[in-house]
Structures are given as structure tokens and as C-alpha cells.
Amino acid sequence: MHKILIVAGDGIGPEIMDATMRVMEWFRRKRQFDFVVEEGLLGGCAYEKQGRPDPEETIAKALSADAVLLGAVGGPQWDSMPFELKPERGLLRIRKSMEVFANLRPAICFEALANASSLKPEIVSNLDILIVRELMGGVYFGTPKEITPLPGGGKRAVDTQVYTTEEITRVAHVAFRLAGRRNRRLTSVEKSNVMMTGVLWRSVVTELHRAHYQDIALNHMLADSCAMQLVRNPHQFDVILTDNLFGDVLSDEAAQLTGSIGMLPSASLGAEIGGRARGLYEPIHGSAPDIAGKDMANPIASILSFGMALRYSFDRADDADLMNQAVAASLGEGYRTADIMQPKMTQIGTGQMAAVILRSLDRLID
């Protein structure tokens, strides 16, 4: 029996998580996927109820779960909070506590959405990129991280970008192995022309490639050049490996290629234990407070995040593929949420999109 922790979070989090749990129940009934669910608070809602964005109870539940499904955290009502109490600190805390160091962000352009991208259809059609982002190091976790006063007035802010050989090696291993299961091409992205962490990153990845992965085609690219090439010629990429900061930016850029950030799931994986990796699964969109409670949110990224859990935490690749097929079929029938709405398509809400995907799942196994 698998144990799954549900952390709905803030904004549209509860709505998309409700849709995702309906799909999870389908897999329980129709695909013999046995699981039990616990729930936990994280982010702004946790602060409101427990006085902190990262309750110890939630962290403990996460560490005992086989997988964690997260909705979203944050909202404007908490923007003025002290830095250490902001909802996002809860997200960083749970990632660090679970030691999930490899963030997988697929950017797949479903055929039915090729015209929804801001780029020409011929540029994004059949796009399938996997971004592997290092998640526990770099500038988000480096110290010192501070704002200090300067003599005579003014202030000085410091964020520290820091990486070790071990941190780079472990995430690079993940990226090389994933490339080996796909098209055997890996692009490693950094800023070795101006950053010492980039120099070390390129050196470590190059040596790892020479020692273990010569059957994978390795290409190095500067982060700014990669940002340009993603919109110029995205099909040149298969797997992109990069650090925490650049991965955050580049994966959001890649989201636009697919038609909407509401379409992109993610998996954050730790070291394998007993052949399986501990995983935290979440859509990469934010809490979208402007549409929260309006049944407008796109649940597809959250539902596909559960699909990634099936693949990486529960070794159910066939079920993960079935999930992708159901989403593709639902979009192919012309159903759209507001963020991906196109002329002559049928606009539906969050709950209705879940119902359409469930119907597609039923048809696929008939």
C-alpha cells in the first residue's frame, strides 16, 4: 500500500488538487493502484492556521510518505510578511527536508495546442524537452544571504551562489541517465564565462561524461544563449541540465512554448532507496490568486504531476503513459480551460476538465 501526502496549499491549489484526486481514485478503481492519503498544510494557509509556513507535522508526514503531491503556495496577502515567514519558505523547507535535489520539468507541446503557443506552430509542434534542474544548491540556498546597512546610508544585499562537486555530480548522473532513456542528447547549461560556479559545473559534467557516459552526446551552452535558442530552435534540445537559478528561469520560458504554464508538471527526486526515488510532485505554475475559487484553473499540470509520480516513485510507466494519452485525447476533442482557450474550442472549468480526462481514460482502456 503506497502512502501519498496531499499538500493543496494556497490559491488555486485546493481546486487543482481536488481534480487530481479524482483522477487518482480512477487509477485505484480501474488500474489496481492501491494507496492511502494523508493531508498537510504548507505555505500561506499553514501560516494562518499554525503561525509558520512550514509546520513540523507536515515535514514529518512528507518524510514518511512514498510521494508528496503539492498544489501551490503563496499569494499577495502574504507579500509584506517577514522573509522567513513567507509561504515560499515552506516550499524550500520541504524540498530541503526531503533532499530532493533533481527537479524534472518536461516541456511537451501536445499536438492540439501547437497553435496556442506564442511561437509559430512549426517551431513548437511535437516538442518534447526535459529540463533537469538542480534543486538544493546554488543561489537559493547559499550563505551568506543578507541585507546589511552601509556607512552613510544605503544598504548592501548579498545572495551567494555556491556549488560543490558532489552536488553537481549527483544531479548530472540523473540527467545523463534520463538522456540515455530518450534521444541520448544532453545540453549542460551554465555561465562559465563569468561565474566560477559555472567553471566548476562545466568541468564536473565534462569529466563525468568522459568517465561514464560517452554514449551520450554532450553539448555545453551558456545560459543566456540557451534562453535565446529555446525560442529560436527548441527542437535542438532533448535533455537540458542546469543549476537552480537558471533552471527556474529556463523552465518557465519553456512553459510558454507549450501554450500555457498551466500545462507543465514537475517531479523533484531524491536519491534512490530500494530502487525508487523519494519524490515531490507539483505543477510549476503559481497559486494564481486572481482566479482562485472561480473554477477557472487548468488542472492538467497537477494531473500530469501525478502521472510523473506514477512513473518515478511507483514504477508504473504504463500508467504514466496512459495519463499522457488521456490528456492528449481530451485536448484533441477541443476542450480547453481559459488559459489555453482557442477559437472554435469548448471552454470548460477546472472540474469539467477533470471529468473530460476521466472519460478519456475510460475510453482508452475499453
pLDDT block averages, 10 residues each, the chain of length 366? 96 97 98 96 96 96 96 95 92 92 93 84 90 95 95 96 98 96 97 98 98 98 97 96 96 83 90 76 92 95 96 94 96 94 94 98 94
- Could you tell me which of 189, 207, 195 has the C-alpha nearest to residue 244? 189
Q: Which of 201, 226, 257 is the last residue of a domain?
A: 257
On whether the pTM is more than 0.75, the answer is: yes
What total number of domains does the chain contain?
2
Indicate if 58 and 151 belong to the same structural domain: no
- Residue that the C-alpha cell 494562518 belongs to: 48
Do 146 and 203 lie in a common domain? yes
**Which of 257, 283, 301 is the last residue in one of the domains?**
257
295: Cβ contacts below 8 Å, ≥ 6 apart: 15, 349, 350, 351
Beta strand pairing call for 102-108 and 128-134:
antiparallel
CA 347 to the chain's CA centroid: 25
170-199: burial string, b at 16+ Cβ within 10 Å, e else: bbbebbbebbeeeeeebbbbbbbeeeebbe
Per-residue pLDDT at 266: 94
Identify the domain containing residue 190 by its residue range: 128-257
Residues labelled catalytic: 140, 191, 224, 248, 252
CA distance 68 to 312: 12
Sign of CA dihedral 141, 85, 298, 35: positive
**Residue 28: Cβ within 10 Å count:** 12
- pLDDT at res. 257: 86
Q: Do 104 and 189 have their domain in common?
A: no
- Considering the domain architecture, whether residues 21 and 36 belong to the same structural domain is answered as yes
Which of residues 257, 275, 297 is at a domain's end?
257
133 and 252, same domain (yes or no): yes
pLDDT of 256 reads: 80
On the CB side of 122, CA atoms within 13 Å amount to 0
Q: Are residues 194 and 300 in the same domain?
A: no
CATH of the domain at 160: 3.40.718.10
> Does 241 lie in the same domain as 161?
yes
Cα distances (Å, whole numbers) of residue 345 to 81, 126, 180: 42, 20, 38
Angstrom distances, CA of residue 70 to CA of 15, 137, 178, 203, 278: 12, 21, 23, 35, 14
3-state secondary structure 256-285: HHCCCHHHCCCEEEEEEECCEEEEEECCCC
